[in-house]
Structure 1
Amino acid sequence: MGAKSDRKRNYIIEKSRNVFARKGFKNVTMKDLVEECNISRGGLYLHFSSTEQIFMAVLSSLVKKDSDAAIEQALMGNASASDMLVLFLNEQKKEILCRDNNLGLAIYEYCASHSLIPKNNLIKKSFDTSVGIIEGLIDDGVRDGEFVCEDAHSKAVSICYILEGLRYLSDTVGLTEENFDSEINYILAGLAPVGVVSN
């Protein structure tokens, strides 16, 4: 593909994310995506053959952005592990509480309609990327004396489960910023050395 074709494909992915965020996964049609992208049906089919293929491209772009942002932050190296963990959790909060761009409903609908999801799917990769980021930050924090944790991997998995639960609550019953902050404080308190109070 040439540069122009790549730009068009990326444009379709960006615009399609908005549709999936608004309508979920199961209610999105190729017609919806054609209208959102303001392109011809043939123009859309030149790049993608189905809504599922576009949804996978949207998820793939998000996984790449998450890992790129994490790598960029890690390379800066001037923030403490606890500062980096708070930054990561606050980024998650923005994504989860932002109703306009939240793909939670679409992801749940996609998973529900695909009972045999392969282990290497993009949703699992995104989850595993988050676990890896958090685990690395916990390990760094333990090494620097900021955190106390005997099993960084299990703790990171538990934190990701909490985040997924918060994402689900946000999509179904609603979630306030105060609710989210309370959970972040709970997470941080569970990592703090004895006698250190998290704020």
Structure 2
Amino acid sequence: MGSKGELTKQLILEKAYELFAVKGFTQVTMKDICDKTGLSRGGLYRHYENTDHIFEEIIKGFSDGSIDNINEKMNRGIKADIILDEIFSVLEEEMLNKKDSLSLAIYEYAVTRKSDLFEKINDIGRKKWQRLLNYGMERGEFIKTNPEPIIDLLLYSYQGVQMWSNVTDISRSQISEMLQKIKEMLR
């Protein structure tokens, strides 16, 4: 179990995530996070100086955790097809889960802040997909192809569906068929 400070930071991140998913980025205040966590202003500011830092830590946590998990599976020699299916299963659930989506918050943060955070996240995502696709090609599980267009399709269709699902109904079958088409491109 972590220290009290680490547990408090985890509580802040979890509750702030919920707020960002519902209200977007620009509408969440430090007072909102205090109210949601039950922390005093001093307690919150002891860990984070503003909502930007909280949001950035949430976003960085996603990219770091997914990379470590995929690398670990490849290092264990798990088939690329199995890793891809697991990732697609997670992506499908995320794309269908409107209430937990950070898409609006990500968009608002990106257009209101001068930050290269999303360029860095995009680069991390590209490297993750590059490594997995190369892994599958080297093992003969995926066809040998230029992975760049597939990576673009994966990265941008995921965020596109996340964003559009907030304003229109996108069905599970639509998402499943889209992911299936991407799989077919690799086989």
Q: What are the superposed Cα offsets for residues 169-193 of structure 1, whole Å, 9 maximum, x if unpaired? A: 222323221111011011111122x
- 2: distance between equivalents of 1:10 and 1:157? 32
Q: What are the superposed Cα offsets for residues 47-97 of structure 1, whole Å, 9 maximum, x if unpaired? A: 11211121112112222222222223323323x212211211221122222
TM-score, L = length of structure 1 = 0.84
Aligned to 1:184: 179
Aligned to 2:130: 135
Structure 1 residue ranges, 4+ long, deviating more than 3 angstroms after superposition: none
Aligned to 1:195: none
1:131–1:89 CA distance, 2 compared to 1 (3 A): farther
Deviates more, 1:150-159 or 1:25-34: 150-159
* Equivalenced residues, count: 186
TM-score, L = length of structure 2 = 0.89
Aligned to 1:16: 16
Aligned to 1:27: 27
Q: What letter matches 2:171 in structure 1?
A: T
Q: What are the superposed Cα offsets for residues 16-70 of structure 1, whole Å, 9 maximum, x if unpaired? A: 1111111110111111101111111111111112111211121122222222222
Say whether 1:150 aligns with 2:149: no
Compute the RMSD of aligned alpha carbons. 1.9
Q: What letter matches 2:52 in structure 1?
A: E
Aligned to 2:154: 159
Per-residue deviation, 1:151: 1.1
Question: Please, which runs of 5 or more residues in structure 1 have no aligned partner?
Answer: 193-199
Q: Secondary structure at the match of 1:100?
A: helix
* Contact 2:143–2:186, Cα closer than 8 Å, also in 1: yes
- Of all paired residues, the percent bearing the same amino acid is 27
Q: What are the superposed Cα offsets for residues 111-167 of structure 1, whole Å, 9 maximum, x if unpaired? A: 1212x432xx1x333333332222222212222332224212342233212212222
Spell out the pairing of 1:1-199 with structure 2 (5 A cutoff). Answer: 3-78=3-78, 80-114=79-113, 116-118=114-116, 121=117, 123-192=118-187
Deviates more, 1:177-186 or 1:56-65: 56-65
* Contact 1:81–1:140, Cα closer than 8 Å, also in 2: yes
Question: Please, which runs of 5 or more residues in structure 2 have no aligned partner?
Answer: none
Q: Secondary structure at the match of 1:190?
A: helix
